[in-house]
Amino acid sequence: MTTATATTPAPRVLLVGATSRTGLFAVPHLLKKGWHIIASVRSEARAAEVKKLAEATAAGTLETYVLDLTSLKTPADARAVLDATKPTYVVWPAGANEDADAETIHAIDFVAAQAFMRATVADTNVTKYMHLSYLQNRRRHAPWWNAEDGKISDYFNTEVIGIFHKARVVSDGLFAALVAQRRKTDPAFQGILFRPSVLVDTEPTGKFRIVRAAATGSVTRADTADVLVRLLARDDVHGYVDLENGEAGADEEIQKAVAEGFDAIEGEFDSTEALLAEYGLN
Ligand SMILES: NC(=O)c1ccc[n+]([C@@H]2O[C@H](COP(=O)([O-])OP(=O)(O)OC[C@H]3O[C@@H](n4cnc5c(N)ncnc54)[C@H](OP(=O)(O)O)[C@@H]3O)[C@@H](O)[C@H]2O)c1
């Protein structure tokens, strides 16, 4: 008699904003894991670019899904995307483009992002959700920052990307609140707010700081994509993960953060209960 052995299906990874510069670096790493990638792209024209990356990678499988993020106005709109794509992992490296006007930034980084967060965290088929934000996006200076870190972060958030900051600081808080609420009954759920510092396109260094990162650094998009996939592949990472290029290898620095139980959310909110109350989730 032969006994059938159940094989675990490969994770289905919905990559929202697959044509982001970071997303394009991430696609080959995601495929190399042998995962199935659903690459959400704004148009068919951009889909070809992503499909080419899959042709060059032997492992994994990829499909594309056309989605204009400005069409996501409610959690029900986002729910329809999840119903159509059936992901187990979701990664959001999307965001309004750097030259977007205030209305578009609000539509994507506030309305669509929050609709998507609400639908995704409520989806019990999704076991990991990684949303990208940026390291300096805080309501309060991190307790480990020095005066220069505080000054540069205030400057970014008011003088350089003020409209993004206003949208994202509310969205990031909602993400933290929704994840905290879900983890009350599902502690294995991984909600990761991945927060690279200023993104640059120089050569990757393969060296990082995650634990108590400064606000004055930067990190390459290629390095960010590499760390993104390493984080996603682990079962023990959740919370706010800051990233800048530094001195340690990726796995060494991730392991250090896990071993210390370090979460860059530290110092951001008075308490989890206060956070939940702010978003009406308690
Ligand atoms: N810039 C920084 O220094 C920095 C620092 C830390 C974190 N971040 C965040 O990290 C993430 C990755 O950054 P990045 O620089 O790699 O991103 P990016 O190249 O600016 O890509 C943004 C993505 O969002 C998509 N998008 C914009 N509007 C859309 C719409 N209406 N419908 C569908 N898709 C739309 C773009 O699609 P198209 O390709 O079709 O335009 C693109 O795929 C973003 O969330 C970013 O905000 C940025």
pLDDT per residue as tens digits for the range 201-259: 999 999 999 999 999 999 999 999 999 999 999 999 999 999 999 999 999 999 999 99
φ, ψ of residue 100 to 5 degrees: the values are: -70, 150
Instruction: Give mean pLDDT, residues 166-175.
Output: 98
Name the band, by pLDDT with cuts 50, 70 and 90, for residue 4.
low
Token pair 């979701």 is found at 90
Quickly state the pLDDT bin for 2 (edges 50, 70, 90). very low
DSSP-derived pairing of the beta strands 239-245 and 190-196: parallel
Return the sign of the alpha-carbon dihedral for residues 255, 257, 263, 264.
negative
How far, in Å, from the CA of 109 to the mean position of ligand 1? 10
Compute, in angstroms, the gap from residue 233 CA to the centroid of ligand 1: 22
Q: Report the nearest-CA residue for atom 28 of ligand 1.
A: 96
User: Is 92 close to ligand 1, i.e. is its CB under 6 Å away?
Assistant: no
Query: Which helix (H) or strand (E) segment is 164 a member of?
Result: helix 162-185
- Residue 281: the pLDDT is 96
CA–CA distance, 277 with 275 (Å, rounded to integer): 5
Residues 176-207: pLDDT tens digits? 999 999 999 999 999 999 999 999 999 999 99
Q: Nearest to residue 54, comparing CAs of 82, 71, 34?
A: 34
Crossing angle between the packed helical segments 21-32 and 44-55, to the nearest 10 degrees: 40
218 lines ligand 1 (CB under 6 A): no
Q: Check residue 61 and give its pLDDT.
A: 96
Whether residue 272 is contained in a domain is answered as: yes
Q: Which atom of ligand 1 is nearest to the CA of 24?
A: 16
Q: Give the Å distance between the CA of 175 and the centre of ligand 1.
A: 18
Of 14, 15, 20, 201, the one to substitute when testing ligand 1's pocket (max ligand atoms within 8 A of C-beta) is: 20
Q: For residue 111, is pLDDT > 70?
A: yes
Count: domains in the chain:
1
> Does any domain span residue 84?
yes
State the residue range of the domain holding 191.
12-278
- The one-character DSSP state at 267 is T
Q: 117: CA distance to ligand 1 center in Å?
A: 17
Residue 277, number of CB atoms within 10 A of its CB = 13
In angstroms, what is the span from residue 17 Cα to ligand 1's centroid?
Answer: 7
Q: How far is the CA of 194 from the centre of ligand 1 (A)?
A: 14
Asked if residue 3 belongs to a domain, the reply is: no
Would the pLDDT of 22 be above 70?
Answer: yes
The predicted-structure confidence for 27-36, as pLDDT tens digits, reads as follows 999 999 999 9
Which residue, judged by its Cα, is nearest atom 17 of ligand 1?
20
In a domain, 4, yes or no: no
Q: Look up the CATH number of the domain holding residue 89.
A: 3.40.50.720
- Rounded to an integer, the average pLDDT of 126-141 is 98
Can you give the pLDDT at residue 83? 98
> 273: Cβ–Cβ under 8 A, 6 or more apart, which residues?
282
Look at the alpha carbons of 75, 79, 82, 86 in this order and tell me if their dihedral is positive or negative.
positive
Residue 7 has a pLDDT of 80
**Is the Cβ atom of 17 under 6 angstroms away from ligand 1?**
yes
**What's the Rg (C-alpha) of the chain?**
18
Q: Which residues pair with 191 in a beta bridge?
A: 129
Instruction: Determine how β-strand 198-200 pairs with β-strand 128-132.
Output: unpaired
Is the CB of 19 within 6 Å of ligand 1? yes
- 8-state DSSP, 268: S
Q: Does 7 reside within a domain?
A: no
Q: Which of 14, 22, 169 to mutate to test the pocket of ligand 1 (most atoms within 8 A of CB)?
A: 22
Q: Report the residue count for the chain.
A: 282
Percent of the chain at pLDDT > 70 equals: 98
The dihedral formed by the CA atoms of 41, 84, 192 and 158, expressed in degrees to the nearest 10: 50
Strand partners for 128: 89, 190
Q: Are strands 208-209 and 218-220 parallel, antiparallel or unpaired?
A: unpaired
Cβ 201 under 6 angstroms from ligand 1: no
Evaluate whether 279 touches 172 at the Cβ level (below 8 Å).
no
**Residue 1 predicted with pLDDT over 60:** no
Does residue 116 sit within a domain? Answer: yes
Secondary structure tally for the chain: helices H, strands E: 10, 10
Cβ atoms of 133 and 165 closer than 8 Å: no
Helix or strand or coil: residue 207? coil
CB 94 near ligand 1, within 6 Å: yes
- Cβ–ligand 1 distance for 124 under 6 Å, the answer no
5 domain-assigned? no
Q: Mean pLDDT over residues 59-84, rounded? A: 97
Expressed in angstroms and rounded, the spacing between residue 265 Cα and the centre of ligand 1 is: 23
CA–CA–CA angle 275, 134, 140 (5° rounding): 45
